Amino acid sequence: MTGIERAAVVGTGLIGTSIALALREHGVEVFLTDPDTASLRLACDLGAGRPLDTEAPGRPADIAIVAAPPAVVPAVVRDAQHRGLAHVYTDAASVKDGVIAEAVRRGCDMSTFVPGHPMGGREKHGPSAARADLFLGRSWALCPTAKADPGAVATATALARMCGAEPVTLSAAAHDRAVALVSHAPHVTAAAVAARLLGGDDTALALAGQGVRDVTRVAGGDPALWVEILRNNPGPVAELLEEIADDLQGTADAMRGRAPDQVGAAAQERVRDLLDRGRRGHDRIPGKHGAQRTPAYTVVPVVIPDEPGALGRLFVAVGAAQVNIEDVRIDHSPGLPVGVAQLSVLPEAAAELSRTLAEGGWSVHA
Ligand SMILES: NC(=O)C1=CN([C@@H]2O[C@H](COP(=O)(O)OP(=O)(O)OC[C@H]3O[C@@H](n4cnc5c(N)ncnc54)[C@H](O)[C@@H]3O)[C@@H](O)[C@H]2O)C=CC1
Ligand SMILES: O=C(O)C(=O)Cc1ccc(O)cc1
């Protein structure tokens, strides 16, 4: 069966709560459970579902999604199967080969367990960072083993689609090699760049623009989770990091200890080669997924003074204009007297809001 009417989400952090919110938007009845009662309560308050009565879970759900840290996934799946929580089981762990091997070792029923990995995420964790549109336009890897029941695969595929993602079926080994390239090695590299900032003085950091924020964003992820992810994919990650290190070493060799007029043609060529390859690699990232995910909001940037109450006054002004703020981001360089509030609003409200705010003396940069 592929229709999902009842789902159980085990682990109500960022990913579990986001999946639950997406399913709720389709009217799915969602039951939630998490050993961390604060996470569970918050997920329920966000409208992600209601608490699963673990003593009396009722009739099996169509699918149970285990969205817990990779190390506990096999035991949690095994336990859920033992209790007959659902007809089909999937997980969200960022690594697949080791998780599947351990699931098999623990005696999980691999006919109903379809390992999965939604390729949408954030550098934040916990239910407070969850969003129903987290997986919109993203890929969703499915790694069924040879034992998988085709009906179970169809249900896991339906789950990915209901969350707005594109299912991609591949082997666990191929998955782990792929995510080493597009997620795990980039994460370590971002952390290495971000770690350099520890040595920067406040003046240097005040100059930080969007570029360094883009390159280091994922370095804000949870180190405990990432150690677990990297520990489970050592070979492919190490190989890529060595290649990245070679490129960086080559660039350093071309430039070290030279005055600008001593960086000769051959050295410049070496640097250009890396930049050219980088640009071509960047161009290979499928635009379709990223573009689709862009929410249907228009961003209205408003310059705000860095002083107590400024944001509150802005929100009051937006409220007075009868406009709902769908999302907000504050871009702010420490030490600068102003920041930029990026207000996401419905496209049809943007022009009128910009005009009203500008009339009220706000510096709007629509
Ligand atoms: N953070 C991200 O951007 C992405 C993470 N993932 C994967 O999703 C899974 C969850 O990650 P996040 O939601 O980011 O972490 P999170 O820290 O936000 O949430 C994990 C939740 O699992 C719960 N948990 C811990 N032990 C448990 C157990 N034995 N049984 C049930 N629940 C348990 C925790 O209490 C917590 O609420 C991980 O396997 C991760 O590799 C996949 C895609 C993206
Ligand atoms: O923050 C982002 O943009 C991510 O892509 C996060 C992410 C983290 C871990 C995953 O296994 C998958 C995605």
Q: Return the structure tokens found at 147.
A: 């034992």
Q: Residue 229 CA: which ligand is closest?
A: 1
**pLDDT, average across residues 324-346:** 84
Q: Return the structure tokens found at 361.
A: 């003396």
User: Which ligand 1 atom lies nearest to the CA of residue 16?
Assistant: 13
pLDDT above 70: percentage of residues in the chain? 96
Which DSSP symbol is given to 262?
G
119 CA distance to ligand 2 middle (Å): 6
Alpha carbon 139 to its chain centroid, in Å, reads 12
Describe the strand order of the beta sheet including 327-331 as a list of residue ranges: 327-331, 338-345, 298-305, 363-364
pTM of the model: 0.85
Q: 17-58 pLDDT, tens per residue?
A: 999 999 999 999 999 999 999 999 999 999 999 999 988 878
Annotated domain spans of the chain: 6-170, 175-289, 295-364
Asked whether the ipTM of the predicted complex exceeds the cut of 0.85, the reply is yes
Q: Which CATH number fits domain 175-289: 3.20.20.110, 1.10.3720.10, 3.40.50.880, 1.10.3660.10?
A: 1.10.3660.10
Q: 253-290 pLDDT, tens per residue?
A: 999 877 888 889 999 999 999 999 999 999 999 864 44
Among 121, 143, 97, CA closest to 19: 121
Cβ of 14 below 6 Å from ligand 1: yes
C-alpha–C-alpha distance, residues 47 and 178, integer Å: 34
Among 9, 3, 230, 23, CA closest to 134: 23
Whether the pLDDT of residue 145 is over 50: the answer is yes
Q: 180-218 pLDDT, tens per residue?
A: 999 999 999 999 999 999 999 999 999 999 999 999 999
Q: Which CATH number fits domain 6-170: 1.10.3720.10, 3.40.640.10, 3.40.50.720, 3.40.50.300?
A: 3.40.50.720
Whether the pLDDT of residue 1 is over 80: the answer is no
Q: pLDDT band for 2, please (50, 70, 90 cuts).
A: low
**pLDDT the model gives residue 293:** 47
Whether the pLDDT of residue 130 is over 50: the answer is yes
**pLDDT, average across residues 109-133:** 96
User: Which architecture characterizes domain 295-364 according to CATH?
Assistant: 2-Layer Sandwich (3.30)
Question: Taking all residues of the chain, what is their mean pLDDT, rounded to a whole number?
Answer: 93
Among 178, 198, 187, 286, CA closest to 244: 187
Residue 134: what residue type?
L
**pLDDT the model gives residue 334:** 64
User: Which ligand 1 atom lies nearest to the CA of residue 11?
Assistant: 32
Residue 5: what residue type?
E
Tell me how crowded residue 165 is: count the other CB atoms within 10 A of its CB.
25
